[in-house]
Structure formats: structure tokens, C-alpha cells
A and B are shown apart, each in its own frame.
Chain A
């Protein structure tokens, strides 16, 4: 009897895994066929006005990079506070939980929130608002990884630094962060991969633009929002561009994820 149940459970698990894999590969294959077919030199050298992706790729990268510049320091400082300075503080656990809840907040909610506090007062969508929304998505991930990775560094290493007459902040910045470097870097890479492909937080914040721009005070081009818009266009040519964009984005996010995993493996 137990043997039979075992068989059934095993069979069901395999079936479930297969269904998941089938859809995953279906998407990937479809994306690759339609995406690769749509890629040519033209889309890299022209902006959206001329049926190209150049301004979108650069725009997406700028938005994500600015989000990293805003989000990583804030997240790391918060993580350092939680792990290194908050002994016995009642607020520490509260902040940890809050940060974890933030991690699973729907990205559209973050988009609407930033719309209310940044876009509305300014009066129009702009690049900064988009980056702020992405940074808000990133911060909890960075807080969590920094906190966890610093927690893995043995306390003897901190004590050894202090025992040599070093001030505590020096020990943290010279020794402890270095010891946790690989883990924290991986966390930041994965957080970057997570935000690089987001549409919802950008929809109401950075808007979109057909033209090449580096001015983050204006509406800002991004690949994800453009794919969202183009995909429903009647013009077949534009739909093709959307496929190319989707393919490039997927490959990019996949590569960062692989890089992150590779860094972890190298460490071990």
C-alpha cells in the first residue's frame, strides 16, 4: 500500500514538474524564434521613432543603474545597522519584518505610491520617479542579503579587529564587509536582475519616450514599458520590435542571474 502511494505521489510530482517545464520552454522557444528573427542591426542603431530599440535599451539601463546607485547604499546601510548595531533594540525585529513584507509588495503598488509622491507634485512622469520606484523594490532585497551575509561572518573576526584597537566602524568596513563581499555582491546582482525586467513600477512613473534622452527630468524611455505598449499595436512591424526587445531583456536577465549563481559557486 505504502509502495502504491509512493508511486502515485512520485508520478504526480513528475507530472507537475513537467507541466511547469513545458510552459517554460514553450515561452522560451517561442520567444527565441520570434525574437531572434526580429533582431537586426537596424534596431540597435535607431530609436523607437525610427522603429529601433536603442533609446529603450539605454533608457532601461540608466533607470536600473540609477536605482542601484540610490538603493544599494540605503539597503546596505540599513542591513549593516540591523546586523551590527541593533543589539537588543526592539525596533530591529520590527524593521526586519517590515523589510520582508516590502519585498513581497506588489510592484504596481510601489509604482502608484511613487506616482503619488513624486510624479504628482512635479506634474509629469520622469526618469527619476522610475528609478526611485525601482530602488524601493531593490532596497528590501539588499537589506535582507546584507543582514544575512554579515550574520554569517563569525563574531570572532569582529572581536579580533576590536582586540587590535580598531574602532568598531573600521572593523565593519575593513574586515567584516570584505569577508561577506561575495554574498553581498551576489545579492545585489540578483536584486538588479529582479528590477531590470520590471514594467509595473515604471508604467506611471517614468512614462515612455520615443526619443533618445539622458535627461531624467523628462519622460524616460524604457524597454519594458515600450514592450507593453508595442505588443498591442496593430502595426506588425512594431510587434516584431517588441519581440526583439523581449528576447534581449530575457537574455540579459538570465545572464545576470547566471553570473550571480556563478559567483556563489566560485566562493565554495
Chain B
């Protein structure tokens, strides 16, 4: 008898088939004397397209041809085949490798003779995990499947609590009964089944510490929210989970980050996707996500928008941190991205560039957890004071 959940079994079959199809074609080419070539869409900024209509980043149509008989491409070709065969084997053996496992399984030493000097040399199939990670991404693009769908796991980072029940594997989990803890969003969120939910919106918080404070203070109960933290840059599972909450449950998604370019980019990754992994956005981005704060106007106010700041002159003095050169550079970069070139965002960025000041969410809890929980967040949601 099998202890495996039914969804996993189905996923394995599908992934195996896709890998086999892609590489059978290659073998057929080889056996008929055709140079084996992998055609993979490029994962570069230049080949990243912002689909304004759908509000997300997509991978463009530019492809790279990786021919085994080209000395410059042979190694990457070998690595791609190698990773595919290891993943294929793991799928067949009902395993759940992590990307770190895959790195170790594929790593071995080739001892070869240099025909020029006749000396024996050594080379590893790969040296750093960066290299195996990179061909995993290539494989995802090649067979049009995310690694989670191939049952490859990675570290869990995202957490969720709220009045909601889900089915993970063969178990029902009540997200409202997590005590002081929270449910770690599993690496394969596509296999989660949403059972029932009693929430009106989703609040995603960049900072784990702030998430915990709001959780313990009972924020989600009081305001009928699902509370999520990405604990910094969101991993793919958290993004996919948020996307599903938006798509399948129609819940509005609010994102709360630090008031700095780093926080803005976290928001942007949730909303439109990331540049290097633009091929995933189709499944991971949540174009309807809203930037709740902390905004520059929250800090400084705006005469034009007739908005008063949430901070007093004295609080600003205490909480504001001076922007670094990298912050400034990053802000200027963001300003050049098409999806940041909206009126409201340019305003934000320009205030930042003028004031050269940033602020952490923790500053708001310092002003008072109550202020954050009962004033700042609800008021902003109620008055629609967010950036779409």
C-alpha cells in the first residue's frame, strides 16, 4: 500500500511524461545524426516583457539555442541533461529532493585527458549550487513546469494564520488553531485544497516580527483577515499561495512593507513577478495586489493630495533612517521599470529621492502596536489609501 497522497502521484506522472517527451526528441535527433540542440527561452531582463493588460511580467519569445556540439555550450547542455535525469529518477523513485539534494546528486568529477598537453585534468559537473539551480530553472522553462510541480522541495519560509481550513496531503489543517505559531506554507502549494474560509482580506507583511505581534494581538480575528508573512523576499510557495487566495477566493490582497526600495521590490515581486524568474509570473504573480504601505506620504503627508502624515515632526525625527547610496541607486532603477512608472509610484519614489529617507514598519509599532493595528491598517483599508 502507498502512503503517498493522491495529488503527488498524479503530479509525478505528469512531470515524468513532460521530461520524457522533451528528451525523447533529443535522442531521436542524435540517432538520426542531427546535432542535439536545446531551445530554451531566455531568462534575461531584455527578454522580460511587462504585460500591461494583465499586469504581470512575462518571459519574451527570445530563445537561446544550446547545442551540445558547440564547445561553449556543451557544459550547460550536459548539466541540463544531468539535472533532468536526476529529477526524472527522483520522480520515478517517489522521492522529494530539495534543490540542495539535486546539487549533491549531480555533482561528480570528470577526469579527462587534455589532448594538447596529454595531461590528466579534473572537472566537476558543477561546483556551486548556483549552477545546478540555474539549470533547474532552464528545465522549468524547457518543459514549462515549475519545480514544485516536479515535487522538488525548498526551504519553507512563508507563514499563514487566519480563520481558514485547508487540506494538505491527506490532512485537514485549521489555520485558526495554530496557537502562537503559524502554518508554514508548504513548497508545493498547488497541492493544497482550500476547504472553507472566513476572511474578508489578506494582509501580507514583509517582516516576520510584525506578523507575530499582530497575530498575538489577535488582529486577524478582530478584522477577519488572513495574515501572511513572507519573512523578507517572498519564496515561490508564498507567492503561489497568495495568488491562489486572490484567484480562487477572490480576496483582496494588501501588502505591508518597509518604506524603502527593498520593500517596494518585495511588493513588486508579489504583484508582477520577478525579473529573473519572469516565466513563473503566469502562476506566481498577483496583479491585483495592493501596496498598503508604509508609503512616503504616510510619513511626510501631501499638500497636493490633502493628506496629513501619520507621524508627527518629532516621531519623524526619531524613526526616519537616512537612505544609503545603494538605496538611491536601487530607487532610480525601479523608476525605470515600466510597472513603476505610474503617477502615484513616481510620486513615492521622487519623495524618497528628495528626502533621502526610509522607514521600517517596526517604527509604527514603536509608535504603538495599537496604532498600527487599530488605526493605521484599518483606516488605510477603509479609505482606500493604497497604491494599486
The reply to whether chain A is a binding partner of chain B is: no
Which residue numbers of B lie inside 8 Å of A, CB to CB? none
